Amino acid sequence: MALKRFLAFGLGIQALCAHTVGFSLSSQHDDQFAASLASLRHPGDNSGIHLAVSPACGSLNGSVSDVNAGIDLKRIKTIVAFGDSYTDGGRDDGGPLAPPVVVPPDAEAGGRSTNGKVWIEHVADDIGAALMDYAQSGACTDLRLWPSNYKKVDFVGQMSTFLGQKLDPETTLYTIFFGINDFGDSKIDGEANLQAAAQVILSQIRTLAGAPTNARSFLLADVYGLGTHTPAGDAFVQTIYSGLHDLRHGIDGTGRGEGPNSDTGGHVVDVAFVQFSRIWDGVLGADPGYAAFGYVSTDACIVDCSVVFCSTEGMCDDPEHYFYYIPSHPSKEGMRIMADYVEEVLDRCVEQ
């Protein structure tokens, strides 16, 4: 496989965040809903792979944290997903996905960059929502920013495919997961455009929030460096996070207006932010380390890959317990715990 795909081609001490000032656990009814979600997780105990870190809850009015400002999963009937190979279910037009089954010698399950369902499929399954997936392997935010991007697909193009759909704003959740490929491209094209990439994400959210889509619920996720952190990468994430604060309070892209009754402001929306970096840092770092999650290796089980094909030939004997299935892409067990992390954030990190 080309080096770029190897690096990012698609792309512990538990914090008791329920006790953080400004946050609270849900009501008894919400606790029952959370319990029902938990009961749906881990068929066969997910091969023993489990979360060994918890969300680090915070406020939108601050540094990057896990936060839920208004998303109520009990209301969601449809999920619209945008992203890269981590979210790509094998089809990018919102239609039904192929079964998540590996058919050797093709290592990718139904076109996914893993050996089973991707994280957003699990979230949709857990809450009984329909999934419309527009994500594409290799996608960045905007190709105009990254001439080195080898797949030539981006968020802007995914939006063009999606726009025009008529969905209920009150029951539809829009998930956006970009950054891996933008960060990878920045190593070749330079870091200067990472801030512009952050603004692309925010501008596309404003487009979705406006007519005719009138979207009202957005979940953003990030793991831009897959365990690597840089000042420019962290600043990219912080810009997105701070922008979510403005979106939540109806402040438009010019900084004008605040609140639902403002004539000059933007639309007030519900938002959540999920730090998948908590998982990567926990698995690849020493605290708590990969063994605490149930893994036996942080390597990729499959290394016989090209840009267009990954083969099961020569694969490891124990893919369930390798963190990566193909280079830089989690196994289906890893995708499952990513979904678990999302649901924990939405349940435990509720901003009051």
pLDDT at 8: 39
* Structure confidence at residue 189 (pLDDT): 98
Across the beta sheet with 322-326, the strand order is: 297-300, 322-326, 329-330
Phi-psi region for residue 58, left (φ > 0), alpha (ψ -120 to 50) or beta? beta
Question: What pLDDT sits at residue 260?
Answer: 42
| pLDDT single digits (tens) 170-193 | 999 999 999 999 999 999 999 999
Q: Is residue 38 very low, low, confident or very high in pLDDT (cuts 50, 70, 90)? A: low
- pLDDT at 51 exceeding the cut of 50: yes
CATH topology of domain 12-296+331-351: Rossmann fold (3.40.50)
- Average pLDDT, integer, range 104-131: 98
Q: Above 50 in pLDDT, residue 244?
A: yes
Please say whether the beta carbons of 158 and 93 come within 8 A: no
Q: Tell me: pLDDT of 222 over 80.
A: yes
pLDDT for 60 beyond 70: yes
What are the two backbone dihedrals, phi and then psi, of residue 29, each rounded to the nearest 5 degrees?
-65, -45
Q: Tell me what percent of the residues of the chain surpass a pLDDT of 70.
A: 84
pLDDT tens digit sequence for 263-288:
445 789 999 999 999 999 999 999 99
pLDDT at residue 19 greater than cutoff 90: no
On average, the pLDDT of the chain sits at 88
| 5 vs 81, residue with greater confidence | 81
**Whether residue 18 has pLDDT greater than 90:** no
List the single range of 24-28, 206-210, 234-238 with lowest mean pLDDT: 24-28
The kind and range of the H/E element at 138 are: none
In this prediction, residue 160 carries a pLDDT of: 98
pLDDT for residue 1: 35
Give the C-alpha separation, 224 to 167, whole Å. Answer: 30
338 pLDDT above the threshold of 60? yes
Q: What is the pLDDT of residue 266?
A: 72
46 is written with which tokens?
A: 């997910």
H helix intervals, 60-193: 119-127, 155-162, 180-189
Average pLDDT over residues 299-319: 94
Q: Which residues contact 86 (CB under 8 A, 6 or more apart)?
A: 10, 11, 113, 118, 119, 135, 177, 180, 223, 329, 330
| Per-residue pLDDT, 37 | 54
Give mean pLDDT, residues 31-56. 74
**CA geometry: angle at 280 spanning 345 and 65, to 5°?**
35
Q: Minimal CA–CA distance to 53: which of 108, 92, 14?
A: 14
For residue 335, which amino acid is it?
M
Strands of the sheet with 350-351, listed across from one edge: 23-24, 350-351, 67-69, 270-275, 217-222, 172-177, 78-83, 130-133
Q: In the chain, where does DSSP find H-type helix?
A: 3-8, 28-40, 119-127, 155-162, 180-189, 194-209, 231-248, 277-284, 290-293, 332-348
Token pair for residue 338? 């990513």
User: Looking at residues 141-150, what average pLDDT do you find?
Assistant: 97
